[in-house]
Amino acid sequence: MMNSLAGKVALVTGGSRGIGAAIARKLVRAGADVAITYVNSRTKADEVLADMESVGRRGLAIQADSAISADVEQAVKRVAETFGKLDILVNNAGIFPFGPIEHVSADEFDRTMAIHAKAVFVAIQTAVPYMSVGGRIISIGSCLADRVPGPGFSLYSMSKSALTGLTKGLARDLGPLGITVNVIHPGPIDTDMNPADGEGSEGEKSLTALGHYGTTDDIASMALHLAGQTGRFITGSAFAVDGGYAV
Protein backbone atom coordinates (compact mmCIF):
# COMPACT_ATOMS: atom_id res chain seq x y z
CA MET A 1 0.00 0.00 0.00
CA MET A 2 3.01 2.33 0.25
CA ASN A 3 2.61 3.17 -3.42
CA SER A 4 -1.16 3.38 -3.50
CA LEU A 5 -2.17 6.20 -5.83
CA ALA A 6 -5.83 6.24 -4.84
CA GLY A 7 -7.28 9.67 -5.52
CA LYS A 8 -4.38 10.74 -7.73
CA VAL A 9 -4.63 12.00 -11.31
CA ALA A 10 -1.87 11.32 -13.84
CA LEU A 11 -1.06 12.29 -17.40
CA VAL A 12 1.24 10.08 -19.49
CA THR A 13 2.25 11.57 -22.84
CA GLY A 14 2.65 9.03 -25.62
CA GLY A 15 0.69 6.58 -23.50
CA SER A 16 -1.01 4.49 -26.17
CA ARG A 17 1.83 2.02 -26.73
CA GLY A 18 5.15 0.68 -25.49
CA ILE A 19 6.65 2.16 -22.34
CA GLY A 20 3.97 4.84 -22.05
CA ALA A 21 1.12 2.32 -22.12
CA ALA A 22 2.89 0.16 -19.52
CA ILE A 23 3.29 3.15 -17.22
CA ALA A 24 -0.34 4.18 -17.68
CA ARG A 25 -1.53 0.66 -16.84
CA LYS A 26 0.78 0.47 -13.80
CA LEU A 27 -0.48 3.79 -12.40
CA VAL A 28 -4.10 2.78 -12.96
CA ARG A 29 -3.60 -0.49 -11.10
CA ALA A 30 -2.15 1.50 -8.21
CA GLY A 31 -5.41 3.44 -8.02
CA ALA A 32 -4.85 6.57 -10.12
CA ASP A 33 -7.12 8.04 -12.77
CA VAL A 34 -4.95 8.37 -15.88
CA ALA A 35 -5.04 10.43 -19.06
CA ILE A 36 -2.84 9.60 -22.03
CA THR A 37 -1.93 11.42 -25.21
CA TYR A 38 -1.48 9.84 -28.62
CA VAL A 39 -0.78 11.06 -32.14
CA ASN A 40 -2.16 8.42 -34.52
CA SER A 41 -2.83 5.23 -32.58
CA ARG A 42 -6.47 5.75 -31.57
CA THR A 43 -7.09 1.99 -31.59
CA LYS A 44 -4.15 1.44 -29.23
CA ALA A 45 -5.32 4.31 -27.04
CA ASP A 46 -8.77 2.75 -26.79
CA GLU A 47 -7.19 -0.53 -25.69
CA VAL A 48 -5.43 1.27 -22.82
CA LEU A 49 -8.68 3.03 -21.87
CA ALA A 50 -10.50 -0.30 -21.81
CA ASP A 51 -7.89 -1.64 -19.39
CA MET A 52 -8.44 1.38 -17.13
CA GLU A 53 -12.19 0.87 -17.11
CA SER A 54 -11.76 -2.84 -16.37
CA VAL A 55 -10.24 -1.98 -12.99
CA GLY A 56 -12.77 0.73 -12.23
CA ARG A 57 -10.63 3.78 -12.89
CA ARG A 58 -11.35 6.82 -15.01
CA GLY A 59 -9.35 7.26 -18.19
CA LEU A 60 -9.01 9.88 -20.90
CA ALA A 61 -7.28 9.73 -24.30
CA ILE A 62 -6.28 13.02 -25.93
CA GLN A 63 -4.97 13.34 -29.46
CA ALA A 64 -1.96 15.63 -29.24
CA ASP A 65 1.26 16.00 -31.21
CA SER A 66 4.10 16.69 -28.79
CA ALA A 67 5.95 18.53 -31.55
CA ILE A 68 3.27 21.23 -31.32
CA SER A 69 3.48 23.27 -28.12
CA ALA A 70 -0.16 24.32 -28.28
CA ASP A 71 -1.22 20.65 -28.36
CA VAL A 72 0.86 19.90 -25.29
CA GLU A 73 -0.45 22.89 -23.38
CA GLN A 74 -4.07 22.12 -24.23
CA ALA A 75 -3.66 18.45 -23.28
CA VAL A 76 -2.42 19.34 -19.81
CA LYS A 77 -5.19 21.88 -19.31
CA ARG A 78 -7.85 19.43 -20.47
CA VAL A 79 -6.69 16.84 -17.93
CA ALA A 80 -6.79 19.38 -15.11
CA GLU A 81 -10.22 20.65 -16.18
CA THR A 82 -11.64 17.14 -16.58
CA PHE A 83 -10.37 15.69 -13.30
CA GLY A 84 -10.05 18.90 -11.28
CA LYS A 85 -6.30 18.60 -10.68
CA LEU A 86 -3.07 16.95 -11.82
CA ASP A 87 -0.81 15.05 -9.43
CA ILE A 88 1.55 13.09 -11.69
CA LEU A 89 3.02 14.09 -15.05
CA VAL A 90 4.97 11.51 -17.04
CA ASN A 91 6.74 12.94 -20.09
CA ASN A 92 7.15 9.87 -22.26
CA ALA A 93 6.36 10.81 -25.88
CA GLY A 94 9.35 10.32 -28.15
CA ILE A 95 10.75 9.51 -31.57
CA PHE A 96 14.00 7.88 -32.66
CA PRO A 97 16.00 9.83 -35.25
CA PHE A 98 19.08 7.97 -36.47
CA GLY A 99 21.78 8.76 -38.98
CA PRO A 100 25.06 10.62 -39.56
CA ILE A 101 25.14 14.24 -38.50
CA GLU A 102 25.68 15.44 -42.05
CA HIS A 103 22.32 13.97 -43.06
CA VAL A 104 20.26 15.57 -40.28
CA SER A 105 17.92 18.16 -41.76
CA ALA A 106 16.87 21.33 -39.98
CA ASP A 107 13.29 20.02 -39.85
CA GLU A 108 14.40 16.74 -38.24
CA PHE A 109 16.47 18.64 -35.70
CA ASP A 110 13.58 20.96 -34.84
CA ARG A 111 11.04 18.15 -34.53
CA THR A 112 13.30 16.02 -32.34
CA MET A 113 14.12 18.86 -29.97
CA ALA A 114 10.48 19.94 -29.93
CA ILE A 115 9.28 16.51 -28.83
CA HIS A 116 12.11 15.52 -26.49
CA ALA A 117 12.92 18.86 -24.87
CA LYS A 118 10.47 21.69 -25.59
CA ALA A 119 7.35 19.55 -25.10
CA VAL A 120 8.64 18.41 -21.71
CA PHE A 121 9.35 22.00 -20.70
CA VAL A 122 5.93 23.21 -21.89
CA ALA A 123 4.07 20.33 -20.23
CA ILE A 124 5.78 20.98 -16.91
CA GLN A 125 5.30 24.73 -17.14
CA THR A 126 1.59 24.23 -17.82
CA ALA A 127 1.13 21.50 -15.20
CA VAL A 128 2.76 23.13 -12.18
CA PRO A 129 -0.12 25.56 -11.41
CA TYR A 130 -2.45 22.55 -11.15
CA MET A 131 -0.12 20.59 -8.85
CA SER A 132 0.09 20.70 -5.08
CA VAL A 133 2.45 19.37 -2.43
CA GLY A 134 3.26 15.76 -3.32
CA GLY A 135 3.19 16.38 -7.06
CA ARG A 136 5.41 14.17 -9.20
CA ILE A 137 7.10 14.91 -12.52
CA ILE A 138 8.83 12.01 -14.28
CA SER A 139 10.48 12.18 -17.69
CA ILE A 140 11.59 9.26 -19.83
CA GLY A 141 15.08 9.74 -21.22
CA SER A 142 17.43 7.13 -22.68
CA CYS A 143 20.59 5.19 -21.86
CA LEU A 144 22.00 6.91 -24.96
CA ALA A 145 22.12 10.12 -22.96
CA ASP A 146 25.04 8.67 -20.98
CA ARG A 147 26.67 6.21 -23.36
CA VAL A 148 26.83 6.36 -27.15
CA PRO A 149 28.19 3.04 -28.46
CA GLY A 150 28.43 3.95 -32.15
CA PRO A 151 27.73 6.54 -34.83
CA GLY A 152 24.34 7.86 -35.83
CA PHE A 153 22.90 8.73 -32.42
CA SER A 154 24.11 12.33 -32.04
CA LEU A 155 20.77 14.14 -32.38
CA TYR A 156 18.85 11.60 -30.30
CA SER A 157 21.49 11.54 -27.56
CA MET A 158 21.63 15.33 -27.37
CA SER A 159 17.87 15.64 -27.10
CA LYS A 160 17.62 13.05 -24.33
CA SER A 161 20.61 14.31 -22.35
CA ALA A 162 18.85 17.69 -22.11
CA LEU A 163 16.36 16.07 -19.74
CA THR A 164 18.98 15.48 -17.07
CA GLY A 165 19.88 19.17 -16.88
CA LEU A 166 16.23 20.18 -16.92
CA THR A 167 15.45 17.70 -14.15
CA LYS A 168 18.22 19.01 -11.90
CA GLY A 169 17.23 22.63 -12.42
CA LEU A 170 13.54 21.98 -11.88
CA ALA A 171 14.22 20.02 -8.71
CA ARG A 172 15.53 23.28 -7.23
CA ASP A 173 12.73 25.37 -8.72
CA LEU A 174 9.92 23.10 -7.60
CA GLY A 175 11.32 21.64 -4.37
CA PRO A 176 9.90 24.50 -2.28
CA LEU A 177 6.46 23.62 -3.69
CA GLY A 178 6.78 20.01 -2.58
CA ILE A 179 6.97 18.71 -6.17
CA THR A 180 9.60 16.14 -7.12
CA VAL A 181 11.23 15.92 -10.55
CA ASN A 182 13.16 12.90 -11.84
CA VAL A 183 14.19 11.25 -15.10
CA ILE A 184 14.37 7.56 -16.00
CA HIS A 185 16.90 6.46 -18.63
CA PRO A 186 15.76 3.13 -20.12
CA GLY A 187 18.19 0.78 -21.83
CA PRO A 188 17.21 -1.72 -24.54
CA ILE A 189 13.52 -2.40 -23.86
CA ASP A 190 11.41 -4.91 -25.75
CA THR A 191 8.81 -2.82 -27.62
CA ASP A 192 7.36 -2.79 -31.10
CA MET A 193 9.83 -0.01 -31.95
CA ASN A 194 12.81 -2.01 -30.63
CA PRO A 195 11.87 -5.72 -30.41
CA ALA A 196 14.14 -8.06 -28.48
CA ASP A 197 14.27 -10.36 -31.51
CA GLY A 198 14.66 -7.59 -34.10
CA GLU A 199 17.51 -6.67 -36.39
CA GLY A 200 20.52 -5.56 -34.35
CA SER A 201 19.07 -6.83 -31.07
CA GLU A 202 21.96 -9.21 -30.40
CA GLY A 203 24.37 -6.30 -30.54
CA GLU A 204 22.25 -4.30 -28.11
CA LYS A 205 22.06 -7.23 -25.69
CA SER A 206 25.84 -7.57 -25.77
CA LEU A 207 26.21 -3.97 -24.60
CA THR A 208 24.32 -4.65 -21.38
CA ALA A 209 25.87 -6.21 -18.30
CA LEU A 210 22.93 -8.62 -17.97
CA GLY A 211 22.96 -9.71 -21.59
CA HIS A 212 19.27 -9.30 -22.34
CA TYR A 213 16.55 -6.77 -23.04
CA GLY A 214 14.35 -5.30 -20.34
CA THR A 215 10.56 -5.14 -20.41
CA THR A 216 8.22 -2.19 -20.41
CA ASP A 217 7.16 -3.27 -16.92
CA ASP A 218 10.73 -2.68 -15.69
CA ILE A 219 10.37 0.99 -16.61
CA ALA A 220 6.79 1.21 -15.37
CA SER A 221 7.83 -0.19 -11.99
CA MET A 222 10.45 2.53 -11.57
CA ALA A 223 7.88 5.14 -12.57
CA LEU A 224 5.49 3.81 -9.93
CA HIS A 225 8.25 3.90 -7.33
CA LEU A 226 8.92 7.57 -8.09
CA ALA A 227 5.21 8.44 -8.30
CA GLY A 228 4.27 6.86 -4.99
CA GLN A 229 5.14 7.42 -1.35
CA THR A 230 8.42 5.57 -1.75
CA GLY A 231 9.59 8.38 -4.03
CA ARG A 232 8.73 11.24 -1.73
CA PHE A 233 12.37 12.07 -0.85
CA ILE A 234 13.82 11.58 -4.34
CA THR A 235 14.24 14.55 -6.64
CA GLY A 236 16.69 15.89 -9.21
CA SER A 237 17.87 12.36 -9.96
CA ALA A 238 18.48 10.33 -13.12
CA PHE A 239 17.84 6.60 -12.89
CA ALA A 240 19.37 4.13 -15.32
CA VAL A 241 17.06 1.15 -15.85
CA ASP A 242 19.24 -0.33 -18.55
CA GLY A 243 20.59 -3.72 -17.49
CA GLY A 244 24.03 -2.19 -17.02
CA TYR A 245 24.19 -0.61 -20.49
CA ALA A 246 25.82 2.59 -19.23
CA VAL A 247 28.26 1.13 -16.69
- For residue 38, indicate whether it is catalytic: no
Which pLDDT value is given to residue 199? 86
**Cα distance between residue 14 and residue 63, in whole Å:** 10
pTM to 2 decimals? 0.97
Provide the CB-side half-sphere exposure for 14 (13 A, CA): 18
Which pLDDT value is given to residue 198? 87
Which pLDDT value is given to residue 1? 54
Cβ atoms of 181 and 236 within 8 Å: the answer is yes
Which pLDDT value is given to residue 20? 98
pLDDT, tens only, 25-80? 999 999 999 999 999 989 999 999 999 999 999 999 999 999 999 999 999 999 99
Which pLDDT value is given to residue 23? 98
Domains of the chain, each with CATH number or no CATH: 9-241 (3.40.50.720)
pLDDT, tens only, 68-120? 999 999 999 999 999 999 999 999 999 999 999 999 999 999 999 999 999 99
The residue annotated as part of the active site, out of 38, 130, 156, 245, is: 156
Give every CB contact of residue 47 below 8 A, 6+ residues apart in sequence: 16
3-state secondary structure string, 48-71?
HHHHHHHCCCCEEEEECCCCCHHH
Residue 42 to residues 5, 56, 145, 168, Cα–Cα distance (Å):
26, 21, 30, 34
**φ, ψ (nearest 5 deg) of residue 186:** -70, 150
pLDDT, tens only, 177-221? 999 999 999 999 999 888 898 888 999 999 999 999 999 999 999
Average of per-residue pLDDT across 3-24: 96
Average of per-residue pLDDT across 214-232: 97
Which pLDDT value is given to residue 56? 92
**Cα distance between residue 6 and residue 95, in whole Å:** 32
| β partners of residue 136 | 88, 180
- Nearest 5°: the CA angle 99, 159, 73 is 125
